[in-house]
Amino acid sequence: MNRKASIREGRRGAQGGKWSSILVGSVAMVTLLLGLAACAGAKDTSGTGLAGSLQVKGSDTMVNLGSAWAEEFMAQNAKVSIAVTGGGSGTGIAALINKSTDICQASRAIKPEEIDKARSNGVDPKEFVVALDGLAVVVNPANPVSELTFAQLADIYTGKISNWKDVGGKDEVMVVLSRDTNSGTHVFFKEHVLQSKDPRAEYGGKVQMMAASQAGVIEVRQNPKAIFYVGLGYVGDEMKALAIKREASSKAVKPSQETVKSGEYAIARPLYLYTNGEPTGLAKAYIDWIMGADGQRIVRELDFVPAQ
Amino acid sequence: MSILEGRVEEIRRGPAPAPKGLQRRARWGERLVEAFVRLNGVVAVAVLIGIFVLLVAEGVPILRYVDLWHFFTGSKWYPVSSPPTFGMLPFFVATLWVTLVATAIALPLGVAAAAYLAEVAPAVVREMVKPLIELLAGVPSVVVGFIGLLVLSPLVREVLHLPTGLNGLTAAIMLAFMSLPVIVSVSEDALTAVPREYREASYALGCTQWQTIVHVLIPAALSGITAAVMLGIGRAIGETMTVLVVAGGALAIPSSITEPMRPMTATIAAEINNAVQGGLQYQALFAIGVVLFLLTFLVNLIADVVLERQKRRFGP
């Protein structure tokens, strides 16, 4: 009797197993079908009829701006999907050359060698200036230093000056933060500030290359000895933007949308979009929209300067 | 014939052969499974060889631009300047620093935790703690990196009065956290696998529990513990996202663990996206990949040699 009971139990157990797996299977199927139905059911209420997907890769400086543009554009055109990734201007340009992105965002101009490489790969880069950006030099709010010249910045970032007291601050070792070679900001800063005295200058060995602008911002926020350079869009209340003088005798100008627009602020640069050849269809509509009223309004909202 | 003689006769004759159809099916089934298992083994080895061949094929061309000695011992890494210079010594030294310190932290902690779990802890504690430690292994490395950035680095900076908390020490501590579950798990398995007779003999001779663990059990389980430590070291050498976020990113050769540094894995991750395929920077990064591969291979080789010697000393 015991054997029979255990066999019956076993059989029931096996059947119970069978039923529970059927149940789980059906729940999974229903969920999957509902999910697919939800995706397919999106209606284009705007009536523009634009549809398709775009891949946008590149500058960290522009990634928040690019995401804001994409979100607004997708809200206005429900059948469009745009994916925005950061990684640095170098990443975006390399992706354009390797044909793995539709649009590249860059905070520096494409270099002649990169144009040659692109052409030899069958890619013809077309440039669009979509905004202007100020490159702010930021320090911790507890740092007493509030202005620096180009020469001082060059010495700090090549490693010649390493103590805050040499620029009028406390007697503390400087923690010098930079972006890495992926970044357009890195290249722009190097060409315009670092190499302003000596065109062969390189970043010093103690300069810390941060993998993302946000990581540098976090370190400046929590470390009183840190100094970093970052696009105006990243500047917030938890850090102090320094006033920059081109020469020792020039006026010290703090970065803001007004000073970048008027050209008073010395470290300002255009922000670019690059495409492979003249854009058509969805890409053209997107770029025209970015250069239009809506796109430029978003530029202003994110603390950049409109292109006009 | 008696029952016994009948049974003996049965055994002598051997089992009755299966019907022909069943025999054929069994042979085919056997062969299929054997072939499948053999195929898996071959694929695993082929993939490993393939990875090495790819690394070498993409990386060795950099030696046309800079010779091996200057590439390995040079300390200037300016891949996007004109002309670019490639010297990877700072990254190699950084990897060594971070791995050694991480192992120095994780090894005693890990083996001690394993010994505690295997020998001292009550069963209830062991059942709870072992899964928790294995859960720690599942934390994504970029999350570990951000915990290091936001929580550990200010702590390290303030406690040790360093200029910045983004340095090799913070990275080594986070790496120790990541290799700890591996070391604890495998060492604990190795310790529980030591036969009961060892413990019984040791206690019978009058040893305390501490003496038993330190002088009898750990030496007996040493092959498993070494394997565990090698796995932990391998994890520390290959870890990328954590060191990318936390180790500091300075390009100079680090002279102490508390300086910001950039190990080889972080260098590859930081720059590979920027490198145009087939260009000099791309080749240089793949060459660093070859060095990384060889380093990991060397660690595994040493582990094998140690295990062989242990096996010979302590018998089968």
For B127-174, what is each residue's pLDDT tens digit?
Answer: 999 899 988 888 999 899 999 999 999 999 999 999 999 999 999 999
* Beta bridge partners of residue A129, listed in sequence order: A272
Q: Does domain A134-262 have CATH number 3.40.50.800?
A: no
The answer to whether the Cβ–Cβ distance between B245 and A219 falls below 8 Å is no
pLDDT surpassing 60 at residue A120: yes
- Min Cα separation B81/chain A (Å): 8
Q: Of B86, B41, B47, B52, which Cα lies nearest the Cα of B67? A: B86
How confident is residue A44, by pLDDT bands cut at 50, 70 and 90?
very low
Mutate to test the interface with A, among B274, B280, B282, B285 (most CBs of A within 10 A): B274
Averaged pLDDT, A170-183: 90
Run of H or E residues at B44: helix B20-59
Domain boundaries, chain A: 3-132+270-306, 134-262
Q: Which residues of A have a CB under 8 Å from any CB of B?
A: 87-88, 90-91, 94-95, 97-98, 114, 117, 172-175, 180-182, 187, 202-211, 215, 218-219, 222-223, 225-226
Query: Which residues in chain B have their CB less than 8 angstroms from residue A217's CB?
Result: none
Q: Which chain A residue lies closest to B252 (C-alpha atoms)?
A: A205
Long-range residue pairs from B296-304, CB within 8 A, at least 24 positions apart, any chain: B296/B234, B296/B237, B296/B238, B299/B230, B299/B233, B299/B234, B299/B237, B300/B230, B300/B234, B302/B230, B303/B226, B303/B227, B303/B230
DSSP, residue by residue, A244-286: EESSTTSPPB---HHHHHHT-SSSEEEEEEEEESS--HHHHHH
Residues written for chain A: 308
- Which residue from B182, B152, B177 is spatially nearest to B167, judged by alpha carbons? B152
Name the strand (E) or helix (H) holding B171: helix B168-192
Contacts B269 to A, Cβ<8 Å: 211
How far is C-alpha A241 from the geometric centre of its chain's CA atoms? 19
Q: Is the model more confident about B166 or about A38?
A: B166
Confidence check: pLDDT of B199 > 90: yes
Q: How confident is the model over B175-194, as a mean pLDDT?
A: 92
In this structure, the number of other CB atoms found within 10 A of the CB of residue A93 comes to 32
Q: Which pair of tokens denotes residue A71? A: 């979100």
Highest mean pLDDT among A106-115, B24-33, B104-113: B104-113
Query: What mean pLDDT do residues B89-103 have?
Result: 96
- Contacts of residue B163, defined as CB under 8 A and 6 or more positions apart, other chains included, come to A172, A173, A174, A175, A225, B157
Same fold, A3-132+270-306 and A134-262: yes
User: What are the percentages of helix, strand and coil residues in chain A, rounded to 5?
Assistant: 45, 25, 35
Task: Report residue A207 CA to chain centroid gap.
Answer: 21
pLDDT at B271 over 60: yes
pLDDT at A3: 55
- Residues in chain A within 8 Å Cβ distance of B153: 219, 222
Q: For A167, which DSSP code?
A: G
For A87, nearest residue in chain B (alpha carbons): B273
Interface of B with A (CB under 8 A): 75, 78-81, 90, 149-150, 153-154, 157, 163-166, 244-245, 248-253, 260, 262, 266, 269-271, 273-277, 279
**Residue in B154, B164, B253 closest to A175 by CB:** B164
CATH architecture of A3-132+270-306: 3-Layer(aba) Sandwich (3.40)
Q: Which residue has the tokens 């002279």?
A: B255
Backbone angles phi, psi at B304, to 5 degrees: -60, -45
The phi, psi pair for A46, rounded to 5°, reads: -80, -20
A173-177, B1-5, B309-313: segment of lowest average pLDDT: B309-313
Instruction: Report percent pLDDT > 70 for chain B.
Output: 96
Rounded to the nearest angstrom, the minimum Cα separation between A206 and chain B is 5
Higher pLDDT, A187 or B313: A187
Q: What b-and-e string marks burial along B54-73, b requiring 16 or more CB atoms within 10 Å of the CB?
A: ebeebbebbeeebeeeebee
3-state secondary structure of B162: coil
Q: Is B265 exposed, middle or buried (0-12, 13-18, 19+ CB in 10 A)?
A: buried
Percent of chain A residues topping a pLDDT of 70: 91
Q: Which of B79, B250, B279 minimises the CB distance to A181?
A: B79
Ramachandran angles phi, psi of A148, nearest 5°: -145, 155
